[in-house]
Amino acid sequence: MKASGVQPESWAPFAEGKNQIFTHPVLLPIARAHNKSVAQVVLRWLIQRGIVVIPKSVKPERMRENFDVFNFSLSDEEMRSIQSLDTGRTLFTEHTDPERIRNVATRKFNT
């Protein structure tokens, strides 16, 4: 992606809380080791990989928490542990599905 000048961005970095991400047995010990929340660990993991993160929150305390991810780093082992959670499948709409792309590209909205 970078070779083509494309900056990856994490869409829904917390997967809308699916798969019990905030209580995940791999993520919780890492968060505790750094005295951080699981959300902060997830954001830090993405940032350390050079991925732009835009987490959504309407709560000021969570917004502050989301910014407080630049005062710690994850070890190589922690990075690998988190990477191992990747299933290779989206938890959302499959954006690489040709039929889905056709559907979105041809959708017309009444104005």
Give tens-digit pLDDT for 7-27: 888 877 777 777 788 999 999
pLDDT confidence of residue 93 = 66
Give the SS3 label for residue 98.
Answer: helix
Q: How much is the average pLDDT of 61-86?
A: 95
- Determine, yes or no, domain membership for 111: no
**Rounded to whole angstroms, how far apart are CA atoms 89 and 19?**
13
* Global pTM value: 0.78
Q: Report the domain count for the chain.
A: 1
- Determine, yes or no, domain membership for 26: yes
If phi > 0 it is left, if psi is from -120 to 50 it is alpha, else beta; for residue 24 that is beta
**Rounded to whole angstroms, how far apart are CA atoms 81 and 71?**
20
Residue ranges making up the domain that contains 77:
2-106
- Determine, yes or no, domain membership for 22: yes
Q: What CATH number corresponds to the domain at position 62?
A: 3.20.20.100
47-69 confidence digits (pLDDT tens): 999 999 988 889 999 999 999 99
